[in-house]
């Protein structure tokens, strides 16, 4: 019995690792349940040339979480970058700096994998498919000119 269980265990772990690691396309095609266990609000306005903290909150019990990651890309980078997130004062965050990751736009989403092989993602659309956040930074001068009464 143990002989078949160990290979099965390694096979299961490697499949989960592949889903998060190198096979982002399968994540984008996968269906996820709509849940309130993950929360993120994109920073608005998102100004050009300024670093931002992309903050993410999770209602999953910490002892059940195996991995929490941010996957993001800019138009200059064709592949999603995977960034493992660590807890920081009750939330998870990544400091996005456009000097380190240049581009005119950023596309990103968050994924959480639990130890019981559950997988959650945000944002998802009504069909349960991932709908990554897409942000095009704005020029701060033009932004404030547009909202200032004349």
CATH number of the CATH domain containing 80 = 2.60.40.1930
Bridge partners of 54, per DSSP, are 94
143 to 51, 60, 137, 147: CA distances (angstroms)? 17, 37, 10, 7
75-99 confidence digits (pLDDT tens)? 998 899 999 998 888 899 999 999 9
Report in angstroms the alpha-carbon separations of 70 from 3, 11, 79, 136, 143.
36, 24, 13, 18, 28
What is the domain count for the chain? 1
Question: Six-digit token pair at 27?
Answer: 């994540």
pTM, two decimal places: 0.78
Q: pLDDT value at position 53? A: 92
10-residue mean pLDDT series, the chain (150 residues): 43 41 75 82 91 91 89 92 89 93 93 87 91 93 90
pLDDT at residue 37, rounded to an integer: 82
What is the reported pLDDT for 17? 44
Instruction: Give the separation between CA 14 and CA 74, rounded to whole angstroms.
Output: 28
Q: What is the pLDDT, as a whole number, of residue 35?
A: 74
Residue 23: domain span: 2-147
Write down the pLDDT at residue 111.
93
Q: What is the predicted pLDDT for the residue at 92?
A: 93
Q: Which residue has the tokens 């701060």?
A: 140
Residue-level pLDDT at 7: 42
pLDDT of 8? 38
């Amino acid at each position: 019995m143990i002989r078949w269980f160990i290979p099965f265990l390694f096979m299961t772990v490697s499949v989960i690792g592949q889903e998060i690691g190198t096979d982002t396309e399968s994540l984008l095609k996968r269906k996820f349940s709509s849940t309130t266990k993950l929360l993120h609000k994109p920073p608005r306005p998102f100004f050009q040339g300024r670093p931002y903290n992309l903050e993410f909150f999770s209602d999953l019990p910490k002892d059940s979480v195996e991995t929490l990651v941010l996957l993001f890309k800019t138009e200059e980078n064709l592949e999603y970058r995977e960034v493992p997130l660590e807890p920081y004062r009750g939330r998870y965050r990544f400091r996005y700096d456009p000097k380190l990751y240049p581009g005119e736009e950023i596309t990103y989403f968050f994924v959480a994998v639990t130890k019981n092989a559950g997988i959650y993602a945000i944002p998802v659309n009504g069909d349960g498919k991932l709908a990554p956040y897409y942000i095009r930074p704005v020029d701060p001068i033009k932004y404030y000119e547009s909202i200032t009464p004349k």
